[in-house]
Structure 1
Amino acid sequence: MPLQMKLSAITLDCPDPPALAAFYQQATGLAPHPRSDADFAALTCENGLTIGFQRVDDHQAPHWPTQTVPQQSHLDFTVDDLDEAEARLLELGAGKPDHQPNEDSRRVLTDPAGHPFCVIRS
């Protein structure tokens, strides 16, 4: 019988936790965790899941789609309108790699620390 576990947090390494938390807060509307600071910041989802951002000195941003520096993580977000979501995320500081597999149903973007993430049509 499997152990009963509930996912409670996902944490991304980055050079500037408050800045990366602010990017994702603006993108998702999630609430900041009250114990965020310069070395660890977090956002809390309604279901209790926490997305954390921890400072790592000499952080190397992932290179996507190559794996010269591995992805380290990959988040997916569903959206109603891909073009609208992409435009807003780019305004907030996301990047858009040239390689876009299945661009009609998903867009691969990178957050300000270089982590790839997808927005997927719901």
Structure 2
Amino acid sequence: MTRTSPAPLDGTIMCHAMWARDGRALAEFYATALGTKVSETYPGEQGEPAACAFTIGPSMYLFYTSKAFAAPNWPEDDLPFHMDLTFSDVRAAEEQLLQIGATKPAHQPGGDHWTVLLDPSGQPFCIHQAR
């Protein structure tokens, strides 16, 4: 019996979602880092602001508020997800990110290739020089 392969899937990522104790603050941080503004808010079950978002190109970045959120104990904990951001001037970007709420942990496994920062919620993200 001859089997045919199914047609390749053609999905695209529509939304990247992250959780934090304060979704709005995290959305504002990443929106500023990426040169945009928070453009949408979504209510929770009781009408309270539960999530904030912005869109870049075809992708939405959504940040949920979760009072139960706990940042990973990085580098000890595995990360289920993290973001890598690129900048034309990575040194200047690092300075600005630190000014708007990022912190720089002592553990830096990237050498000259990338820098790890922690966003205001305590989650690691990496910054790189744009190629």
TM-score range for the pair, normalised by the shorter chain length: 0.7 to 0.9
Amino acid across the alignment from 1:15: R
Instruction: Please give the TM-score of this superposition, normalised by the length of structure 1.
Output: 0.88
Which residue is equivalent to 1:20?
26
Q: After superposition, where does 1:1-122 map in structure 2 within 5 Å? A: 1-36=7-42, 38-45=49-56, 47-67=57-77, 70-122=78-130
The DSSP-based 3-state class of the residue aligned with 2:126 is strand
**CA deviation after TM superposition for structure 1 residue 3, in Å:** 2.1
The answer to whether the 8 Å contact 1:73/1:115 transfers is: no
Percent sequence identity is 34
**CA deviation after TM superposition for structure 1 residue 102, in Å:** 2.5
**CA deviation after TM superposition for structure 1 residue 36, in Å:** 4.4
Distance 1:2 1:97 in 2: 41
Computing the radius of gyration over CA atoms, which structure comes out larger, 1 or 2?
2
Stretch deviating more after TM superposition (112-121 or 32-41):
32-41
**CA deviation after TM superposition for structure 1 residue 48, in Å:** 1.8
- Root-mean-square deviation over aligned CA pairs: 1.5
**CA deviation after TM superposition for structure 1 residue 88, in Å:** 0.6
The answer to whether the 8 Å contact 2:20/2:64 transfers is: yes
Amino acid across the alignment from 1:43: F
Q: Count matched residues.
A: 119
Structure 2 portions without partners, runs of 5+: 1-6, 44-48
Amino acid across the alignment from 2:97: L
